[in-house]
Amino acid sequence: MPKLKSRSEHAFDTLRTAILVGRFEQGAPLKFQELQEVCGVSVSPVREALTRLVAAGLVEGEHNRGYRVTYLSRADLDDLVRTRIQIEGMALTRAIELGDTHWEARAISCLHIIDRMPRLQSDEPHLHDETWEKHHAAFHESLIAACDSPILLAFCRTLYDRADRYRRFSLTVESAPRDVAAEHRAILDATLARKPKEACALLAEHYENTARYVRDYLTEKERSAVAAREA
């Protein structure tokens, strides 16, 4: 029987998803009463959830002014992508060195699942399908699962969560078709072939492809904001 979530875990998952799908826009103030209604819990679990969301980089605390959704920024995106490439590259290299046939089978199975389901919602083509999202996370986790460093793996999960908001947002600003399935397949093929340099390079390219459209959008937005202040 699956373990029931605590109220704070439920609040965290609910608010995290609400931010990731854009229910609360960047910079939006987060009022406790509204958050309690969204989560269906009292103020204490919401407060605990907000503390975890601050640590995850999704929410900012303002001195004497409560909380707000963290703004997306070019500097944060660049730092995040650069760090993910370095840290997950280390984990992937170690996984390729240590991984056995069971590790290979899990990664193959995870890719097979996301290859057989729609990436986007049928009625909202600029939103990811939530079932695909869950299995997509499982695929990326499976690639590095054979890494023998719990600290490194925990750091990778934290970085994935922080990057998730930018990745989801990328769909709203993508201006050219992209074969995500082919990118995943190439990463897995290099991984199974035990070619760590190639696999890490393909993983880096995969993350850069996601970031490219968001980076262009944020650069233009920040340039416009500077121009407006100087006008």
The CATH number of the domain holding residue 181 is: 1.20.120.530
Q: Quick one: pLDDT at residue 2? A: 39
Q: Is the pLDDT of residue 126 over 80?
A: no
Task: Please report whether residue 144 resides in a domain.
Answer: yes
85 and 186 in a common domain: yes
Residues 167 and 80 in one domain: yes
Q: Is residue 228 part of a domain?
A: no
Considering the domain architecture, whether residues 179 and 91 belong to the same structural domain is answered as yes
In a domain, 1, yes or no: no
Considering 46, 69, 92, which residue would you say is the last residue of a domain? 69
Same domain flag for 62 and 78? no
Give DSSP secondary structure letters for the chain: -PPPPPHHHHHHHHHHHHHHTTSS-TT-EE-HHHHHHHHTS-HHHHHHHHHHHHHTTSEEEETTTEEEEPPP-HHHHHHHHHHHHHHHHHHHHHHHHH--HHHHHHHHHHHHHHHTS-SB-SS-TTSB-HHHHHHHHHHHHHHHTT-S-HHHHHHHHHHHHHHHHHHHHHHHH--S---HHHHHHHHHHHHHTT-HHHHHHHHHHHHHHHHHHHHHHHHHHHHHHHHHHH-
Higher pLDDT, 14 or 190: 190
**Summary mean pLDDT of the chain:** 89
Q: Give the domain extent around 214.
A: 74-223
Q: Given pLDDT bands bounded at 50, 70 and 90, which one contains residue 148?
A: very high
Q: In what order do the strands lie in the sheet with 66-69?
A: 29-30, 66-69, 59-62
Residue % of the chain over a pLDDT of 70: 94
Look at residue 112 in the predicted model and tell me its pLDDT. 97
> Over the stretch 51-89, which tens digit does the pLDDT of each residue have?
999 988 889 987 777 899 998 899 999 999 999 999 999
Q: Is residue 168 part of a domain?
A: yes
Q: What are phi and psi of 119, to 5 degrees?
A: -80, -30
Query: Where do we find the tokens 């990664």?
Result: 107
Domain termination site, one of 26, 43, 69: 69
Residue 115 sits in the same domain as residue 136: yes
Residues 178 and 192 in one domain: yes
How far is C-alpha 99 from the geometric centre of its chain's CA atoms? 24
| Whether 117 and 85 share a structural domain | yes
pLDDT of res. 107: 98
Beta-bridged to residue 30, according to DSSP, are 67
pLDDT of res. 173 = 78
Number of domains forming the structure of the chain: 2
Tell me which of 222 and 38 has the higher pLDDT.
38
| Residue 3 pLDDT grade (very low, low, confident, very high; cuts 50, 70, 90) | very low
Q: Are residues 60 and 165 in the same domain?
A: no
Task: Select from 16, 49, 69 the last residue of a domain.
Answer: 69
Closest CA to 188 of 124, 96, 84: 96
Query: For residue 53, what is the domain's CATH number?
Result: 1.10.10.10
The band of 164, judged by pLDDT with boundaries at 50, 70 and 90, is confident
Res 228 pLDDT > 80? no
pLDDT beyond 90 at 172: no
Q: Is residue 14 located within the same domain as residue 110?
A: no
Stated pTM of the model: 0.82
Indicate whether 198 and 107 sit together in one domain: yes
